[in-house]
Amino acid sequence: MIVVVLTGSIAMGKSTTATMFIRRKIPIFDADKTVHNLFSRGGAAVEMVNEHFPSAITNNKVDRATLGQIVFGDPCRLSILESIIHPLVDKERSRFLQSHRRRKTKMVVLDIPLFYEIKKQYKSDFVCVISAPSFLQRQRALGRPGMTRQKLNAILARQMPDYEKRKRSNFVIPTGLGIAYTNRLLSRILNQIRQR
């Protein structure tokens, strides 16, 4: 089974590109969606988050906006949160991979936004980084609800620079030249991956 990691900094167009994989019937493990499920009512992370950040719990689920405000700019609190989330996401990712290996799936994608930033590297065959010009990245990010220049700068400071990610990856998928171009390029990349 070929394991492809899909990564990229904030507002680079990763969600749009992930949809292109889904349309091609390639299963995707979405790390962000997994965290969302862990934080929802009855989710595996709710009790542990409540122990450390009780004010972030509303109606038996994690209020992501409140939690973000608590850990924002506080490396110690952020580290505690990561120690809760990462093992739970790892467990779900392992379950996803095992399930597809049993089904003899030919290729899967691990959508991991902070692939290069987290200390533990995941085993994969290829890494695709999603990239766009910085002016477009900022424009997209600042169009998101609740995003400010200060918040964006703090997020970017914690993320590895885009040029560094491009150097480390097997393939770069640009998203600044239109969806049709990205889609065509993705087809070529997938052909190369299958041939290798």
* Per-residue model confidence (pLDDT) at position 156: 92
* Per-residue model confidence (pLDDT) at position 119: 65
* Per-residue model confidence (pLDDT) at position 120: 67
pLDDT, one tens digit for every residue, the chain (196 residues): 999 999 999 999 999 999 999 999 999 999 999 999 999 999 999 999 999 999 999 999 999 989 988 998 788 999 999 999 999 999 999 999 999 999 999 999 999 998 998 866 678 999 999 999 999 999 999 999 989 999 899 889 989 999 999 999 999 999 999 999 999 999 999 999 999 8
Task: Supply the DSSP string of 9-48, one letter for each residue.
Answer: -TTSSHHHHHHHHHHTT--EEEHHHHHHHHHSTT-TTHHH
pTM comes to: 0.90
* Per-residue model confidence (pLDDT) at position 194: 93
* Per-residue model confidence (pLDDT) at position 189: 97
